[in-house]
Structure 1
């Protein structure tokens, strides 16, 4: 018994430095951000004076009444929706293709997974060159130049500099979504591929013996077994999309008339360019809550499954 206690004590001592660092640099800073969001520190002079004045939810009211932040929320909604659909759909398609054992599948598996080795900043920079519209039709750049060479001038478009919209959906987001899907679809492919490899071959062979075709096997057998993978993929992608910053900032910034703006970019500009620390903190807290809405139920359900098993 004493040996077990010594092992537990030693284990706690080993992880204690990490617990202290997490407590300071994660939870204490979260507490400080929440505290700041309820203050009047919306100027550099007020921060220097260090006099904390509680203003309640005034900063949150100002943020939600701000047209730019309303645009940010709509952009986040549409970006999250199409980013998840695109990444999951493409990742599942690639995983199923590679799982069939086509010639060169190992090469293509590594090729599709390669974007995960690149940071969002690099991805945003490269895709900003690809989607740079230039001055078409006379001096196009990127894809527009390719369209000109192929005689497809009708496909030339302003891409991420476009101010067109359909309802609340700013069409400039299309370029950003394509870049984000390119970055993450390989990772989702790897998740689905691991799930497909884990399906017992006996189940599939039994279905084939009963006369089931490959389409029926995929939708009625494989997909139900891949539900946990799909849920995990959606959680990961939702978490990424709600706090996205580096990809969009490197690729387009907030764009003309904030067409590609998101809460993280607005928070950065309010805090570090306008010195409105309280309002920037309020946006940070809102982003934290949006992520928590996705993550906490998933963690809770995972914990319950772990306890029940």
Structure 2
């Protein structure tokens, strides 16, 4: 009896959480999928229209702009965060003085919400009260930095804020990978005459492949579902210069009363995320089995 209780008690304790997750996560995912093939507008509807909403979605110029902005934002965000994170991790791995102080400083931005980050960078980049105004007050009248007001450059301000937020987190991932490398391998390479550059290029960085993969998955996931940072920083503007799929989905679902189109965009975002996470999980499970 005691053995049966020990076997089934954890299942009984976890079953309410499992049911709630099944209902409020996967249940609503399924409901969103249904809305995407319905004629729902302001309220959910039972009318079935097939893939009509998806056809309308990909014919919308606003959706094309959102995808283009996502490509620009996602590529720059992932690449810059990876380069900065790796550089900071290598710097800290060299046992420099003050590592205990620098590490929490680099990690601090990740402790902030994207709303706080977006608001702070909005103030900092605003030409009237931010960096440009400070430079003018210091006498540098010719200084100009109005990217946040420019249709062509506004998306790059989102990249700047997002990189500032996430680089420290990526650094922590790479630092954990660096500290996990066997020192005997590095000492053997140094004995063979390898310089520091050769050591990192031919041995250390290739051994960080799992950290690179993990960083890519996390950053790509954050880029695809980026919403609060954009809303706080630019609100999707000027015009639609910083429109992303997440902001598009919200606007069409709740302000334009096109719930079917909004749901179809949410499904496309889910497919994007799944196309990144599923291969990653498959490779991880395959490595564990082998």
Q: Which interval holds the TM-score relative to the shorter structure?
A: over 0.9
Q: Which residue of 1 aligns with 2:52?
A: 58
Equivalent-residue separation in structure 2 for 1:269 and 1:25 (angstroms) = 22
**Which residue, 108, 111, 114 being the options, matches 2:108?**
114
Deviations 1:243-287 (A, max 9, x none): 100111111011022000101111111112122211111111111
Q: CA–CA distance in 2 between the matches of 1:26 and 1:151?
A: 55
1:210-249 to structure 2, matched below 5 A, reads: 210-249=192-231
State the partner residue of 1:33: 32
Distance across 1 between alignment mates of 2:194 and 2:134: 45
Q: Is residue 162 from structure 1 mapped to residue 162 from structure 2 by the alignment?
A: no
Deviation at 1:145, TM superposition (A): 2.0
Residue pair 1:60, 1:279 contacting (<8 A) in 2 also: yes
Give the structure 1 partner of residue 66 of structure 2.
72
Matched, 1:147 2:135: yes
1:42 to partner: Cα distance: 1.4
Mapped contact 1:160–1:260 kept (Cα < 8 A): no
CA positional deviation for 1:11: 2.2
Separation in 1 of the partners of 2:3 and 2:278?
A: 33
Once residues 186 and 35 of structure 1 are traced to their aligned partners in structure 2, the CA distance between those partners, rounded to angstroms, is 39
Q: Give 5+ residue unaligned stretches, structure 1.
A: 135-140, 165-170
The offset of 1:150, in angstroms, is 5.4
Scaled by the length of structure 1, the TM-score of the pair is 0.90
**What is the SS of the residue equivalent to 2:27?**
helix
SS in 2 for 1:257: coil
C-alpha contact (below 8 Å) 1:161/1:172 kept by paired residues: yes
Query: Aligned residue pairs: how many?
Result: 290
Corresponding position of 2:289: 307
Q: Does 1:18 align with 2:12?
A: no
Q: Secondary structure at the match of 1:272?
A: helix
* 2:170 aligned with 1:188: yes
Q: Is the 8 A contact 1:116 1:184 kept in 2?
A: yes
Which of 194, 200, 208 is the equivalent residue of 2:190?
A: 208
Q: Which residue of 2 aligns with 1:288?
A: 270
